[in-house]
Amino acid sequence: MNLPATALPGPSVESITQLVHGFYGDVRQDPLLGPVFEQALQGQWDAHLQRLVDFWSTVVLGTRSFKGDVFGKHMALEGVTPAHFAAWTSLWQQHTHRIFTPEVAQDLQVAAHGIARNLFRGYFGSDPAFAVSRGE
């Protein structure tokens, strides 16, 4: 597999910021995902993007810069379907592969899938069809 010319060897606050902003830029444009996020955020994208950078920096780098109730906030959203999870994880995979080396992208995907799996269980009471684990 050829790496992108700009593939980053490891995550940093800067690369997490790049990932989050690019990824959620595409989420906003996605015909399935965009409306759910727009309804939930009601024009508060800038503040939410910073919270997302803090969240992913905490998950990936251990910065402890995020405090919040991810599960509770997501469970309050209406109209979420399994297709939303499939679209979200697919976009995440595209963005992580675009920015990072395969090993780092895989680690970020495993983390995201774990979070998505927990949220999916909260919504639907079962495991999702998607799964990414180390070694796949």
pLDDT tens-digit series, residues 73-114:
999 898 999 999 999 999 999 999 999 999 999 999 999 999
pTM: 0.86
pLDDT band at 6 (very low <50, low <70, confident <90, very high): low
Please provide the average confidence, as pLDDT, over all residues in the chain.
Answer: 90
Tell the CATH topology of 13-124: Globin-like (1.10.490)
Query: Which two structure tokens, joined as six digits, stand for 57?
Result: 């920096």
Domain ranges of the chain: 13-124
Q: Which residues contact 17 (CB under 8 A, 6 or more apart)?
A: 53
Percent of the chain whose predicted confidence (pLDDT) is above 90 = 82
Beta strands in 17-131 (DSSP E): none
Q: What is the DSSP letter of 2?
A: P
The one-letter code for the residue type at 120 is F
pLDDT in tens, 29-48: 999 999 999 999 998 999 99
